[in-house]
Chain A
Amino acid sequence: MSIGRDVLVIAEQHEGELHDVSLELLSEGCRVADELQGELCAVVLGNNVGHLTQPLAKHGADKIYSMENPLLVDYSGEFYTDALSDFIGDLTPKIILCGATSVGSDLASRIAARIGIGLVSNCISIKIDQNDLLFTKATHGNQVHTTFKCASQPQIATFEPGALEVKKIGIAKKIETMNVAASLNPDKQKSKVTGTIQTDLTAMDLSEADVIVAGGKGVGSADNFRLLEDLAYALGGCVAGTRMALDAGWIPSDRLVGQTGSIVRPKLYIACGISGALHHTLGMKNSKTVVAINTDANAPIFRIADVGIVGDLLDVIPSIVEQLLELKAQV
């Protein structure tokens, strides 16, 4: 081990599946570790997470630590912090990378407070200047970019999912995997998660939605809007629309997307019968992926779409819904 030069990525898993942000962090971690001439380590917590070492190794980890304990199956801020703080104390990495997800943000703030190390949350970039790491992040309502240096070692930084790119999957290196015992005391637990609720998709704030199915004038009628509701249901998303849809009374005013409505950035935005007027696209242009369904192949919406389906939404949507339901029935 190279003391004080290693990069540690805290991998995030839910129900045995790795969160994509973990792979993004490994790609960035790989670059930083190379520059620091240290090793890239990854730690994953859970119960029965041995199968995750392969994907972690493929994305560049030199050493993989797994901490298994029935108490770590689901995220618990208290247990994860207890388990990781001791481990980090022993490992003494130079830097710890964590996803700025709801789990990662909570965890990073706890670890930083527990060990007393510098935290830079929601980073945009890391630069290495001689022996110092420089972290840049947006501050002041995203109007300012501030660059920080940490006085502590280790230091911890979080990155939003999608902020970093996943480098090509390489061939798994010869890696070391280690099991680390986590000593946890369930009697000491003070707060505990008792359940999870899916918020009502028709009431959920659009800014929180991962998937939005939006309709415009091309939908044609309130009845046809049901098709969009079916699609949204099949994808676990929210229905929204354009000003035209609002004016026609097909959507309530809190479902309007655009300059005069909500600004949204879901993972998937499906624009159905929407021309792509700037007033509308201003509100959705930062969506991660955009799929457009429109009869007019020249509709401007296709210029900002990742996938464009030229066709009548009245045919296309039912066909998609059917296939999605078939797919669900298989699993």
Chain B
Amino acid sequence: MNIAVCIKQVPDTEGHIDVDRRSGSITSPNLVINPLDVLAVEEAVRIKGQLVDVRVTVVCMGPDIAERALRGALSMGADEAVHVWDEQLVGSDSYVAGRVLATAIGPEQYDLILCGQMAADTQAGQVGAVIAEILEIPLITAVVSIDLNLQSGRMEMQRKVDGGKREVVQTSLPAVLTVESGINKPRYPTLRAIKDAEKKQIEKLNLKALDMSPNEVGATGSLIKVVSVSVAKPSIKNLFVPDSNLLAIDRINILMSGGISDKKAEMILGGLQEAASYFVQFVKERKLL
């Protein structure tokens, strides 16, 4: 089985993000592999450990520095890496990224294409769908577990749906799967694996190699364009006095996040039955049952 995993290098959104409103640039001191893509790599490597003859190829579109992301994935156990970049790709949206990745992956090369459900920077969740559409293969989003007992070439998996439920889906292969948090716990590569990954050859592809024209990509080819960016500011809510036994940092965080809103609770002091009926009526009306 051949598995392709699409990975993106993103600013570490767990840490501080710098926003320059004027230039529109968003930077962070740390670049990481998109956390859900790490799970996709882990899942591919897990499959490789359980089935015979599995090759895992990681594919990344991004500037030169994105090579770090590919090396990271190799150190987790991927076999090969493909790095797609061209200056013309600057300013591409998720739609273009999906098209470029689909072209790099190509038809009929892979049985399984794994992506993270969304990128932590754009929070779009679009790339997997575009790849599936272009390659004309099925798409299953928000996958949280994969059953490796293939039944006549079909794969079964579970996807996360609202209300804590799981949908069981069967699909023919090849297919694109986007993975959600909870699918696995990614491994920490060993020092030896990190060293070995440094020595591996990485295949480089540019637009010409993909036979794509500059008009199809970058800002020109994109369907959505960024107009402006700003630091997300919470709306100010009522504060209750942060109690002094909280750490200073937590008190600051409460203030910064807009505090806690003071709701005017409907107070019920009446009899037991009354209180219970009020509650039941309330949850019924709010459709919480």
A residues apposed to B, CB below 8 Å:
20, 77-78, 101-103, 105-106, 109-110, 112-114, 116-122, 134, 137-152, 155, 190-199, 201, 204-205, 208-211, 235, 259, 267-268, 277-279, 281-282, 285, 289-292, 297, 300, 302-311, 315-316, 319-320, 322-324, 327
With a cutoff of 8 Å between Cβ atoms, the chain A residues found around residue B273 in the complex are 319
Closest Cβ–Cβ distance, residue B68 to chain A (whole Å): 19
Of all chain B residues, the one with the shortest Cβ separation from A141 is: B13
Query: B160 contacts A145, CB within 8 Å?
Result: no
**In B144-186, which residues have CB < 8 Å from any A CB?**
156, 158, 160-172, 175, 182
Closest Cβ–Cβ distance, residue B227 to chain A (whole Å): 5
Q: Could you tell me the distance between the alpha carbons of A278 and B17 in the complex, rounded to whole angstroms? A: 27
Q: Could you tell me the distance between the alpha carbons of A151 and B170 in the complex, rounded to whole angstroms? A: 36
| In the assembled complex, B236 has its CB within 8 A of some CB on chain A | no
Chain B 49-63, CB within 8 Å of chain A: the 1/0 string?
Answer: 000000000000000
In the A-B complex, the 6 residue pairs with the closest CB atoms: A141-B13, A191-B171, A118-B223, A109-B129, A319-B276, A113-B133
Cross-chain contact of B279 among A110, A201, A320 (Cβ < 8 A): A320
Query: A141 contacts B120, CB within 8 Å?
Result: yes
What are 27 of the A-B contact pairs (CB < 8 Å)?
A102-B160, A112-B223, A113-B130, A121-B125, A121-B126, A139-B26, A140-B11, A140-B26, A141-B13, A146-B228, A147-B229, A151-B223, A152-B223, A191-B138, A191-B139, A191-B172, A192-B170, A192-B171, A196-B165, A199-B164, A201-B164, A281-B260, A285-B260, A306-B265, A308-B266, A310-B268, A327-B280
Query: B164 contacts A149, CB within 8 Å?
Result: no
Chain B 264-289, CB within 8 Å of chain A: the 1/0 string?
Answer: 01111100110111111011101111
Cross-chain contact of A309 among B133, B226, B268 (Cβ < 8 A): B268
Query: A113 contacts B126, CB within 8 Å?
Result: yes
Query: A267 contacts B276, CB within 8 Å?
Result: no
Q: Could you tell me the distance between the alpha carbons of A146 and B140 in the complex, rounded to whole angstroms? A: 28
Query: B269 contacts A139, CB within 8 Å?
Result: no
With a cutoff of 8 Å between Cβ atoms, the chain B residues found around residue A320 in the complex are 276, 279-280
User: Which has the most chain B C-beta neighbours within 10 Å: A134, A139, A140, A147?
Assistant: A140
Query: A197 contacts B168, CB within 8 Å?
Result: yes
With a cutoff of 8 Å between Cβ atoms, the chain B residues found around residue A140 in the complex are 11, 13, 17, 26, 120-121, 123
B residues apposed to A, CB below 8 Å:
11, 13-14, 17, 19, 26, 93-95, 98, 118, 120-126, 128-130, 132-134, 137-142, 156, 158, 160-172, 175, 182, 222-233, 240, 242-243, 246, 250, 254, 260-263, 265-269, 272-273, 275-280, 282-284, 286-289
Majority secondary structure, A binding face = mixed
Query: B265 contacts A308, CB within 8 Å?
Result: yes
Closest Cβ–Cβ distance, residue B116 to chain A (whole Å): 13
Query: A101 contacts B230, CB within 8 Å?
Result: no
User: Which has the most chain B C-beta neighbours within 10 Å: A149, A151, A195, A259?
Assistant: A151
Q: Could you tell me the distance between the alpha carbons of A209 and B162 in the complex, rounded to whole angstroms? A: 9
Closest Cβ–Cβ distance, residue A14 to chain B (whole Å): 9
Query: A194 contacts B141, CB within 8 Å?
Result: no
With A143-B232, A150-B224 in contact, is A105–B125 under 8 Å at CB?
A: yes
With A119-B224, A151-B223, A190-B138 in contact, is A144–B231 under 8 Å at CB?
A: yes
